[in-house]
Amino acid sequence: MNNKYIMNNKDSYIKTDEDIVINEKYIIWIKKINECLEVCAKSTGCAIGNTHKICKSNNFDSYKKLIHYFE
């Protein structure tokens, strides 16, 4: 496995389009929709639309942190 995907023990956070901050270690799944990401951070799971949105145009830094999983 490439080392760029291994997280260290420090907590890492991302900001959503709704100005909510999520600890990355609690992300359950991510779905790419065009230039946005739907992020589920509920331990019980999520349905599309019941997620947090991170769009490239609104939160480029957070988008960049997660988009590498799709490359």
Locate the domains of the chain by residue range: 10-70
pTM assigned to the model: 0.79
pLDDT category at 3 given cuts 50, 70, 90 is very low
Query: pLDDT tens across 18-71, in order?
Result: 999 999 999 999 999 999 999 999 999 998 779 999 999 999 999 999 999 998
Site of tokens 């946005």: 36
The Cβ-side half-sphere exposure at 16, using a 13 Å CA radius, reads: 16
